Amino acid sequence: MSTKLSNKEKQRRRAERAAAALKERQRRERRRRLLSVVGVVVAIVLVVAGGFLISSMRDDTKVDAAKIPPPGGSYGLTIGPDSAPHKVVVYEDFLCPICGEFEKTGHEQLEQLADQGKVQVEYRPIVILDRFGTYSARATLMWWLVKQHDGDAVAQKFHDLLYANQPSEEGPFPSRDDLYALAGQAGADAAALKASVEASEGAQEVAEGTKDAEALGVSSTPTLVLDGEAFTNGRTPADLANNLVKAVQ
């Protein structure tokens, strides 16, 4: 019979069908793998994005800069006139090495700009490095007492001297007498300062200064606020100081 296929032809068709079925299975498998990879990657991206958002929201150290009072408060030391176009608030700790770097680079220029009326700066020393002993609290207290009794100009000098003579976080720390002498060098009445310290004057005010800052979300130093916005633009403390000076020039 002529319609009967030869064995060879049958074999060829069978092989063709098998090859087609195989190709189809391969295609499906490739598709399944691709979808699996895409699915897993999408899941990973979602988890990372979600974790990132949660982490950002839980970070309560984001300073609510808008709530931070502008310069001119009663606790800190304000330099520069009220009419200055830029307002800067500096929260710092006398022991914090980054604050030391920041001061070393920036304080002269900031004080100059304040003198020229271009910026008003309030320095708000706070005590956050008390885990290294009493130096931070002691220096802050003495600085505040000097400000109360000897005036802003002397307090500014004492502030600069404290940073110029900043000890390491590891110590050795200057003694009380060393600090009285340093205050004297800034122009303060060292004997009166000693009497005030021994009478535990000012401890409450300084503690409140720190508490107020912490209530506003200030948990690390230096925390800088420029015209109502947190200022963090700088890779190093020196960059931070230079950029801040540039921003208010």
Residues making contact with other proteins (CB under 8 A): 15, 18, 22, 25-26, 29, 33, 36-37, 40-41, 44, 47-48, 51-52, 55-56, 58-61, 97-98, 168-170, 219-220, 232-236
Measured from the CB atom, is 4 or 58 closer to other proteins? 58
Q: Kindly state the DSSP code that residue 40 receives in the 8-state scheme.
A: H
Measured from the CB atom, is 131 or 198 closer to other proteins? 131
Asked if residue 146 lies in contact with residue 183, where contact means CB atoms within 8 angstroms, the answer is yes
DSSP lists the bridge partners of residue 146 as none
Measured from the CB atom, is 41 or 199 closer to other proteins? 41
Instruction: Please state the closest distance from residue 94 (CB atom) to other proteins, in A.
Output: 15
Measured from the CB atom, is 24 or 208 closer to other proteins? 24
Instruction: Please state the closest distance from residue 234 (CB atom) to other proteins, in A.
Output: 8
Instruction: Please state the closest distance from residue 139 (CB atom) to other proteins, in A.
Output: 18
> Which stretch of DSSP H or E encloses residue 78?
strand 77-79
Instruction: Please state the closest distance from residue 169 (CB atom) to other proteins, in A.
Output: 7
Measured from the CB atom, is 17 or 211 closer to other proteins? 17
Per the omega criterion (within 30 degrees of 0), is the bond before 222 cis? yes
Instruction: Please state the closest distance from residue 8 (CB atom) to other proteins, in A.
Output: 16
Q: Name the amino acid, one letter, at 248.
A: V
Continuous H helices in the chain: 7-58, 97-115, 135-150, 152-164, 176-186, 190-198, 203-215, 237-248
**96: three-class secondary structure by DSSP:** coil
How far apart CA 75 and CA 122 sit, in angstroms, is: 9
Instruction: Please state the closest distance from residue 106 (CB atom) to other proteins, in A.
Output: 16
Dihedral of CA atoms 166, 169, 174, 180 in degrees, nearest 10, equals: 60
Instruction: Please state the closest distance from residue 17 (CB atom) to other proteins, in A.
Output: 11
Measured from the CB atom, is 101 or 122 closer to other proteins? 101
Which residue, 231, 227, 247, is CA-closest to 66?
227
Measured from the CB atom, is 44 or 164 closer to other proteins? 44
Could you give phi then psi for residue 221, rounded to 5 degrees? -125, 150
> Which stretch of DSSP H or E encloses residue 225?
strand 223-226
